[in-house]
């Protein structure tokens, strides 16, 4: 959004996506805290931010798995008055200010994830009961939901919910269960975001290039003596290019050449671009003039069992 003119036609959809991402963010940590502070006596594994491939890729916020069953948790952190409708499947949020936003239905999302996870197990010749629950991160959330058998819980209710799940169904033996945990660990895929310009059909030429001042937001910091200078607020910052390089990969994806780097950072000298690119810890391929760089986006949270 910072790199588009304020009247750009993609701004409204980017804004609502931004609100949706922020709504999920922060909530997951609330559930993590519960899992950290509670000790379950049964054999189990807990995975966060799993990205798995079945007939399609899918992401699971939190997976709790035992030899008897698996529970998928979809965590939401959305303030305001919430209504989940079944048809069409959506989540509508009304803020005290009267502002209304629409989000994907967490229930429809969870149902689809449960099916995909069931298929993922089935393709490995495994059968487990798969349950799902939507977790509302904060107790101040008010929600109205259509009649569904998917439980909507606050984090503190999660341990009790788990303890009440039946452990009578056929269970996996120790070897199979250990193997399943290691498969889940290794099939975890690093998050590869699809390029923003592609997702929102934004022409490359609409994107404003230049290094953004971390102090005042001015675009087009100038580089002198290995530092970036803002002519709007006077700030000098040695590493201001790092965000710009990240922006480039998030916006366009793929591989960055020395020329791409120079154009985006608005610098002239190849050596400067080389030094900057080498200092970014990027993955590089090719030699000399043909060298390109790519960025790996690693999930910040690691698997815990
Ligand atoms: Zn500035």
Q: Is the pLDDT of residue 305 over 70?
A: no
| Domain range summary for the chain, segments of one domain joined by + | 11-187, 196-294
> Residue 280: which residues within 8 A CB-CB, separation 6 or more?
242, 245, 293, 295
For ligand 1, a single-atom ion, the residues with CB < 5 A are: 213, 215-216, 218, 230, 232-233, 235
pLDDT level of residue 61 (50, 70, 90 thresholds):
confident
> What does the radius of gyration of the chain's CA atoms come to, in whole angstroms?
23
Cα(224) to ligand 1 centroid in Å equals 15
Cα(2) to ligand 1 centroid in Å equals 14
Give the rounded percent of residues in the chain with a pLDDT score beyond 70. 92
Cα(230) to ligand 1 centroid in Å equals 5
Tell the burial category of 111 from Cβ atoms under 10 Å away from its Cβ (0-12, 13-18, 19+).
middle
Cα(126) to ligand 1 centroid in Å equals 57
pLDDT tens per residue, range 237-263: 999 999 999 999 999 999 999 999 999
Cα(231) to ligand 1 centroid in Å equals 7
Q: Is the pLDDT of residue 299 over 70?
A: no
Cα(236) to ligand 1 centroid in Å equals 8
Cα(196) to ligand 1 centroid in Å equals 25
Cα(223) to ligand 1 centroid in Å equals 13
Distance spanning both ends of the chain, measured CA to CA:
38
Q: Using CA atoms, how far apart are residues 178 and 267, in angstroms rounded to an integer?
A: 53
Cα(243) to ligand 1 centroid in Å equals 14
Cα(233) to ligand 1 centroid in Å equals 4
What's the pLDDT at 45?
93
Whether pTM > 0.75 for this model: the answer is no
| Alpha helix ranges (H) inside 73-144 | 106-122
Cα(214) to ligand 1 centroid in Å equals 7
Residue 2 in tokens: 């910072």
What's the pLDDT at 51?
83
Q: Using CA atoms, how far apart are residues 249 and 255, in angstroms rounded to an integer?
A: 8
Cα(1) to ligand 1 centroid in Å equals 18
Q: Is the pLDDT of residue 294 over 50?
A: yes
Cα(23) to ligand 1 centroid in Å equals 29
Angle at the Cα of 174 from the Cα atoms of 171 and 179, rounded to 5 degrees: 100
Cα(251) to ligand 1 centroid in Å equals 22
Cα(51) to ligand 1 centroid in Å equals 38
**Full 3-state SS string of 5-37:** CCCCCCHHHHHHHHHHHHHHCCHHHHHHHHHHH
pLDDT tens per residue, range 105-121: 999 999 999 999 999 99
Residue 228 in tokens: 């970036």
Cα(241) to ligand 1 centroid in Å equals 13
Q: Which of 32-46, 130-144, 185-199 has the lowest mean pLDDT?
A: 185-199
Q: Answer whether CATH 3.40.1350 is correct for domain 11-187.
A: yes
């Amino acid at each position: 959004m910072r790199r588009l003119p304020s009247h750009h036609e993609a701004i409204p959809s980017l804004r609502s996506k931004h609100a949706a991402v922020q709504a999920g963010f922060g909530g997951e940590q609330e559930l993590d805290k519960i899992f950290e502070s509670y000790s379950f006596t049964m054999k189990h594994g807990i995975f966060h931010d799993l990205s798995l491939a079945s007939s399609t890729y899918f992401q699971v916020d939190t997976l709790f798995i035992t030899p008897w069953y698996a529970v998928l948790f979809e965590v939401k952190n959305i303030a305001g008055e919430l209504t989940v409708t079944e048809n069409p499947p959506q989540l509508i949020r009304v803020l005290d200010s009267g502002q209304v936003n629409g989000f994907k239905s967490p229930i429809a999302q969870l149902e689809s994830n449960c099916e995909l996870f069931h298929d993922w197990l089935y393709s490995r010749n495994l059968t487990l009961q798969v349950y799902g629950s939507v977790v509302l991160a904060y107790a101040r959330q008010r929600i109205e939901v259509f009649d569904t058998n998917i439980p909507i819980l606050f984090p503190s209710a999660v341990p009790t919910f788990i303890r009440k799940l039946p452990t009578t169904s056929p269970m996996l033996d120790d070897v199979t269960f250990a193997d399943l945990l290691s498969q889940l660990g290794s099939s975890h895929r690093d998050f590869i975001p699809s390029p923003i310009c592609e997702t929102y059909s934004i022409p490359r030429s609409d994107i404003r290039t230049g290094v953004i001042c971390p102090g005042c937001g001015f675009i087009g910091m100038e580089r002198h003596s290995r530092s970036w200078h803002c002519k709007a607020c006077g700030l000098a910052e040695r590493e201001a290019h790092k965000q710009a390089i990240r922006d480039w990969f998030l916006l366009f994806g793929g591989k960055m050449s020395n020329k791409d780097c120079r154009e985006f950072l608005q610098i002239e000298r190849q050596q400067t671009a080389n030094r900057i690119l080498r200092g970014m810890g990027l993955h590089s391929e090719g030699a000399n003039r043909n060298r390109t760089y790519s960025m790996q986006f690693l999930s910040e949270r690691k698997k815990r069992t």
